Amino acid sequence: MDNFQKDIDERANLALSNKFELLLFRLGSSLEGEKAELFGINVFKLREIVPMPTITKAAGMQSPLLGMANIREQIIPVIDLAAVAGCKPATGLNLLLVTEYARSTQAFAVESVDNIVRLDWSQVHTAESGVSSRNITSIACLDDDGQSNSLAMVLDVEQILYDIVPSVRDAAPKEIKERTFKFKPGAVVIVAEDSKVARTMLEHGLQTMGIPAIMHTTGLEAWEKIKVIAREAQAAGQHISERIAMVLTDLEMPEMDGFTLTRNIKRDEILKKIPVVIHSSLSGSANEEHVRKVGADGYVAKFEINELSEAIQAALEKVAG
């Protein structure tokens, strides 16, 4: 048990050094007969891997939903990940990846699991401009030098769940609580979020709250923008709060994760007073402890607009106080 806890702590501490662990798995060859691609998912999102159990399919349930499975006395939906990715498994769907995404638990059926690799987020690059699939958020280079053709496609699980599971799409509250946010005129919120569907939901939510925002797809992209704005503010004789009201960041992102972005901001004498709220599908006490360690001013699980609004207001009040 002590060794098991040690492994968990070691894995969790990777988040403080811009590193993470990726589970590599296969779904079979593409429907066009091309070679089998390698896919990946952050180990932090995995609850467990189990052999394929008995699946109960409800009336009217259609692919890629396979049905429901009883995993440790919990009934959870099972998604055919090969069907989502347009693949045909040679040996069938043999394993379930049971995952937890902040507010939901589900299982993804896969053909096989390869291994777990430890990577730096700098080895992961956004895929929005180079991969046609809406379900791929980034590409991970599995070699340190970044020059290899050994690649894994990292799935955008938030997009997959949004497309397939009705409860995810219908999670918006009936009423949105009105709040007044004390932003200086002209100041904006810098947002870093690599999932397209999550970014769209965030953008809409912030617009609903009347908060101007600039959206970015990676932590590095957001960090470069923050530095540019800081230089412009300094040249104009302005305090940074007159340009940047807050930073809202995801944790898992290509090139630079949210922990590193937050730490960069909080270590900078000019930027450290900017409120930072981490908004992530990664939940649990380990991540919340890391949020405190890097100096973030708030943490909220995706995606409920009233909770996000409350976290933003609390972070603003914390910094102002």
Give the mean pLDDT of the chain: 84
Query: Which residues are CB-neighbours of 275 under 8 A, at least 6 positions away?
Result: 245, 246, 247, 297, 298, 315, 316, 318, 319
Each residue of 197-221: pLDDT tens digit?
A: 888 888 988 988 889 999 999 999 9
Complete domains list, the chain, with CATH: 3-169 (2.40.50.180), 173-320 (3.40.50.2300)
**Each residue of 262-308: pLDDT tens digit?**
999 999 999 999 999 998 876 555 556 667 778 899 888 877 788 88
Q: What is the pLDDT of residues 144-157, one digit of tens each?
A: 765 556 889 998 88
Q: Is 305 helix (H, G, I), strand (E, B) or coil?
A: helix
Token digits of residue 159: 């997009």
pLDDT surpassing 70 at residue 21:
yes
Sheet arrangement for strand 74-80: 46-51, 95-101, 104-110, 74-80, 65-71
Give the pair of three-digit tokens for residue 18. 């811009």
160 touches 77 (CB < 8 A):
no
pLDDT digits (tens, 9 = 90+) for 246-256: 999 998 888 99
Collapsing DSSP to helix, strand or coil, 106 comes out as strand
